[in-house]
Amino acid sequence: MRKLTSRNLENEMAINAGCGMAHTLNLIGGRWKPSILWRLVKETLRYSELKALLPAISERILVLQLRELEKDGLIFRKVYPEVPPKVEYSLTALGESLKTVLQVLAEWGDEHREDDGTLLHEQTTQL
């Protein structure tokens, strides 16, 4: 956790306040948030289902990412009062508004990567 008075935080807040793309990437960026959101675009999922769909993510990181997405208003966490506890995650209206963005990102990634996940060489040499 950063100090609230750090120069880094001040710079980040200034960039996010003046740039919509920076703000969006701040909310959905990172290694796992896009994957979590992409799974939730398709359906409401329980924690265990998300974990099964993302086997490489640790439980600690999954919990942290879900909490951040919930805090930012992108996902809704519904807890059912039963034993054992049942929790479902779904997109909020704000999260739903990201469907098109996530779709475009997925299509761009599919179009510009090799089978092994690396960026297409001929695309990078043209830049």
pLDDT tens digits for range 17-61:
667 787 788 888 888 999 999 999 999 999 999 999 999 999 999
Strands of the sheet containing 86-91, edge to edge, are 45-46, 86-91, 75-80
What is the structure's pLDDT at 4?
63
Tokens at residue 88, please? 């479902």
Rounded Cα–Cα distance for residues 71 and 52 (Å)? 23
Going by C-alpha positions, the residue among 31, 5, 73 that lies closest to residue 13 is: 5
At residue 124, does pLDDT exceed 60? no
Which CATH fold topology does 31-115 show?
Answer: Arc Repressor Mutant, subunit A (1.10.10)
Task: Report yes or no on whether pTM surpasses 0.85.
Answer: no
The H-or-E segment that residue 15 falls in is helix 7-18
Q: What is the DSSP secondary-structure string of 26-80?
A: HHH-SSSHHHHHHHHHH--EEHHHHHHH-TTS-HHHHHHHHHHHHHTTSEEEEEE
Neighbours of 111 (CB within 10 A): 9
What is the structure's pLDDT at 32?
94
Q: What is the pLDDT of residues 79-121, one digit of tens each?
A: 999 888 899 999 999 999 999 999 998 898 888 877 766 666 5
User: 57 and 77 in contact (C-beta within 8 Å)?
Assistant: no
